[in-house]
């Protein structure tokens, strides 16, 4: 199943386009902090589009399935922010479509490939570099790096 989702994402990558005005407003409203918004816009067009898709799938999954406990509902805003920031480490370099595929398959194994494969850890450095608030950084560490949030795990494809 995971291979199927990776293939599906690789194909969708070719058809991503610029965010609509509605999606841009949604991002601005959700992130609501200049440093985080600036960081988000450093992502490639494809990664921005993917992040908004992950946000939309997460919103649908959390509200449709009633998966979350009351405690988790309290941190829903942090989860939605994480959806938009989960690939933020990819903003440090340009990764082409073929490069991403070859890196995932371990056909390419160089320092740039390591940057791509470790983008979540690099994202933490980016958040710290841009002086993002401690709450967001701690949530990123806990729900992405230490143990990927169970909803994000189902919606990030």
Q: Which residues contact 50 (CB under 8 A, 6 or more apart)?
A: 9, 12, 13, 16, 87
Asked whether the predicted pLDDT for residue 64 surpasses 70, the reply is no
pLDDT on residue 157: 79
Closest alpha carbon to 40 in 21, 60, 24, 20:
24
Closest alpha carbon to 91 in 155, 36, 18:
36
pLDDT on residue 155: 84
Task: Give me 57's structure tokens.
Answer: 């799938």
Closest alpha carbon to 151 in 43, 36, 73, 90:
73
Lowest-pLDDT choice from 7-11, 94-98, 132-136: 7-11
How does residue 153 score in pLDDT terms, banded at 50, 70 and 90?
confident
How does residue 70 score in pLDDT terms, banded at 50, 70 and 90?
low
pTM across the whole model: 0.87
Asked whether the predicted pLDDT for residue 74 surpasses 80, the reply is no
How does residue 29 score in pLDDT terms, banded at 50, 70 and 90?
very high
Q: Please give the residue range of the domain that contains residue 132.
A: 2-155
pLDDT on residue 9: 79
| CA quadruple 119, 80, 17, 156: dihedral sign | positive
Determine the Cα–Cα distance for residues 25 and 21; give it in Å rounded to an integer. Answer: 6
Determine the Cα–Cα distance for residues 23 and 133; give it in Å rounded to an integer. Answer: 23
Q: What is the mean pLDDT of residues 128-152?
A: 91
The residue that leads in pLDDT, 151 or 141, is 141
For all residues of the chain together, what is the average pLDDT?
A: 89
Number of domains composing the chain: 1
Asked whether the predicted pLDDT for residue 1 surpasses 90, the reply is no
The residue that leads in pLDDT, 74 or 96, is 96
């Amino acid at each position: 199943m995971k291979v199927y989702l990776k293939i599906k994402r690789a194909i969708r990558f070719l058809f991503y386009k610029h965010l609509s005005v509605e999606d841009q407003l949604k991002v601005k409203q959700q992130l609501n902090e200049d440093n985080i918004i600036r960081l988000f816009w450093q992502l490639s067009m494809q990664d921005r589009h993917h992040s908004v898709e992950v946000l939309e799938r997460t919103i649908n999954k959390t509200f449709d399935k009633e998966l979350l406990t009351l405690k988790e509902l309290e941190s829903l805003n942090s989860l939605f922010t994480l959806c938009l920031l989960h690939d933020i480490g990819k903003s440090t370099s340009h990764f082409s479509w073929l490069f991403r595929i070859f890196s995932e398959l371990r056909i390419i194994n160089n320092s740039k490939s390591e940057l791509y494969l470790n983008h979540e850890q690099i994202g933490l450095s980016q958040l710290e570099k841009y002086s993002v608030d401690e709450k967001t950084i701690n949530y990123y560490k806990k729900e992405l790096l230490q143990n990927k949030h169970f909803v994000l795990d189902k919606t990030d494809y």
